[in-house]
Amino acid sequence: MKEIILLKYGELVLKGLNRSTFVALVEKNVRKKLKEVDGEFSLEYSQSTMCITPSDDADIDTAFEKMLTVFGVVSVCRGYKCEKDINQVLEAVREHAYELVGNKKTFKCNAKRSDKKFPLKSPEISALCGEVILEEVGGIKVDVNNPEVIVTAEIRDTAAYVHGNGVRGAGGMPTGSSGRGLLLLSGGIDSPVAGYMIAKRGVTVDGLYFDSPPYTSDLAMEKVTSLARRIKDYTGSMFLNAISVTEIQEEIMKNCEDRMLTLLLRRFMMRIADRVAKEFGQQALITGESLGQVASQTLEALTVTNAVPTLPVLRPCIGMDKVEITDIARKIGTFETSILPYEDCCTVFTPTHPLTRPTLEQIEAEEQKLDVEGLIQRAMETRRVIKI
Ligand code: ATP
Ligand code: MG
C-alpha cells in the first residue's frame, strides 16, 4: 500500500472551455515543483483529481508542503492507494485508521465509485469502512450530519484511494494562465501582497525594484530579493529587475518643490516600469497602493501617477486596510521580512508636507524643470536582472 498525495482542482474553472489548458498548466506547475523534491513522483489525473505517487525514497512531507503553493488546486490531502479490491481497501483503512481520522471525535465514511463494475455499491463500501474505523479507533463516533472528519474511499478505474480531510490548497488560477505582470516591488508590506494576489489569478509575476545608492544599502536589496523569493515559491519563476533612481531623486530635490517630491518620483517609477514591461513582455504593472493610505495614494494623487503609464496598472490592495494586507503578508510569509528596518528610496527623501490634492497641471508644470527623457534613459542603463 502506497502513501499518496491527492490534489483537487477548482471545479468551476474545470467546467469552462479552458478545461484542458487549465489541467495541463496545473500538471506542468506540479511537475516543476516536485523536481525540487528528493525522490521520483508519478502523476495520474482523472476526474478533477491529481494523484501523486512517490517513490519509496521520496520526501513526501516536502512534496506535500510544496503542493500547498500550487495555484488552481483547491484542496490537498494525503491518503493511501491500493488495488481495487474491497479487502485491500478495508486493509488500508485498518492499517491507517488513526492517520485517516486524525485526532477527531466524530466521523463518517463516504465512498465514491467511478468504476460502476465494482461489485459493491457506494453505501455498502461506506458501511464496511465505517465498521473498521469503529473497531480500530477508540472513543470515536459516527455523525452523518456534521462529522469532524470524512473518511473517503474512492474506487477509480485503475486503483482505489482512501483519505481523510484535505487541507485548503492555494486556490486561484494556474500560473501561466493569465500572462505576465511586472510588480513594483519595494521592501514594504503591501507590494509583496499585491504581487501574490495577482499571481494567484494566474499571472506570472516579475519584479522591479528601485534603489537609490548610496542612500539605500545592499541590505535593502537583499530584503527585496527575499520577498521576491516568497512570490516565486508560488509561481515557480521570477525575474527581479533593479534600477537606480539616485540621479532622478537628486534632480527632483535640487529643482522641484519639496511637497511634490514623492509624486514626481512616483511618475518616474511608472514611466520606467512601463518601458521595462513593454521591452520584456509584461502586460500589466502591479503596485501595492491602497486608497488613502498615504498622501501619494489619495484619488487625486493616483490620478496624477496613473496618467503616465500606458499599460494597465493593477492595484489589488486598493480597497484593503492595513490589517487585511498584514494578515495576507503573514499567511504568505513576507511580513517578518517586510518589517526589517532598511531604508527605501521613498523614505530617503520624504517631503515634510506632501501635497495630498495635486492636479495634473501642477505636477506637469513642475516636471518642465527636469530633463525627463534623459533621466529615464540614464536610469534604464542601470538596470540589473536577477533570476530568482
Ligand atoms: P509598500 O508597503 O509596498 O512599500 P507603501 O504603503 O509603503 O507600500 P508607497 O511607498 O507609497 O507605499 O509605494 C506605493 C507602491 O509603489 C508600492 O506598493 C510599490 O508597488 C511601489 N513602490 C514604492 N517604492 C518602490 C520601490 N523602491 N521600488 C519599487 N516599487 C516601489
Ligand atoms: Mg513603500
Every domain of the chain and the residues it spans: 2-168, 180-387
User: Which pLDDT does position 267 carry in this prediction?
Assistant: 97
Rounded-to-integer distance, Cα 286 and Cα 139, Å: 53
The mean pLDDT value for 179-198 works out to: 96
User: Which pLDDT does position 170 carry in this prediction?
Assistant: 95
Identity (one letter) of the amino acid at 317? C
Residues 108 and 141: beta-carbon distance below 8 Å: no
Rounded-to-integer distance, Cα 312 and Cα 286, Å: 9
Q: Which ligand is nearest to the CA of 191?
A: 1
pLDDT at 294 > cutoff 90: no
Q: Which residues of 68-98 are buried (b: 16+ CB within 10 A; e: fewer)?
A: ebbbbbbbbbbbbbbebebebbbbbbebbbe
* pLDDT tens by residue, 299-334: 999 999 999 999 999 999 999 999 999 999 999 999
Residue 335 is inside which H or E element, if any?
helix 335-338
C-alpha cell at 328: 495576507
The mean pLDDT value for 227-232 works out to: 96
- Cα(318) to ligand 1 centroid in Å equals 13
* pLDDT tens by residue, 126-160: 999 999 999 999 889 999 999 999 999 999 888 99
In short, whether 344's Cβ falls inside 6 Å of ligand 1 is yes
pTM of the model: 0.91
In short, whether 289's Cβ falls inside 6 Å of ligand 1 is yes
Rounded-to-integer distance, Cα 163 and Cα 4, Å: 9
In short, whether 190's Cβ falls inside 6 Å of ligand 1 is yes
Residues 68 and 76: beta-carbon distance below 8 Å: yes
In short, whether 285's Cβ falls inside 6 Å of ligand 1 is no
Choose among 338, 172, 205: nearest CA to 282. Answer: 205
Rg, the chain, Cα only: 26
In short, whether 245's Cβ falls inside 6 Å of ligand 1 is no
In short, whether 263's Cβ falls inside 6 Å of ligand 1 is no
Average pLDDT, the chain: 92
User: Which pLDDT does position 97 carry in this prediction?
Assistant: 94
Choose among 249, 310, 243: nearest CA to 278. Answer: 310
Band the pLDDT of 348: cuts 50, 70, 90: low
Question: From the centroid of its chain, how far is CA 372?
Answer: 36
Q: What is the dihedral of CA 103, 166, 100, 139, to 10 degrees?
A: 30
Choose among 71, 52, 74: nearest CA to 169. Answer: 74
Q: Picking from 11-25, 65-79, 198-212, which range would have the lowest pLDDT averaged per residue?
A: 11-25
> Could you name the CATH architecture of 180-387?
3-Layer(aba) Sandwich (3.40)
pLDDT at 16 > cutoff 80: no
Q: Which ligand is nearest to the CA of 245?
A: 1
pLDDT at 18 > cutoff 80: no
Q: Which ligand is nearest to the CA of 189?
A: 1
Classify 87 as helix, strand or coil: helix
Rounded-to-integer distance, Cα 45 and Cα 328, Å: 31
Strand partners, 42: 53
Choose among 144, 128, 147: nearest CA to 136. Answer: 128
Residue that is written with C-alpha cell 511608472 in the block = 270
CATH level 3 topology of 2-168: VC0802-like (3.30.2130)
Angle 181-184-190 (CA atoms, 0-180°, nearest 5)? 110
Strand partners, 41: 54
Q: Which atom of ligand 1 is nearest to the CA of 296?
A: 11
Percentage with pLDDT > 70 across the chain: 97
In short, whether 206's Cβ falls inside 6 Å of ligand 1 is no
Q: Ligand 1, atom 20: nearest CA belongs to which residue?
A: 287
Spatial CB neighbours of 313, under 8 Å, sequence gap ≥ 6 = 270, 284, 285, 286, 287, 306
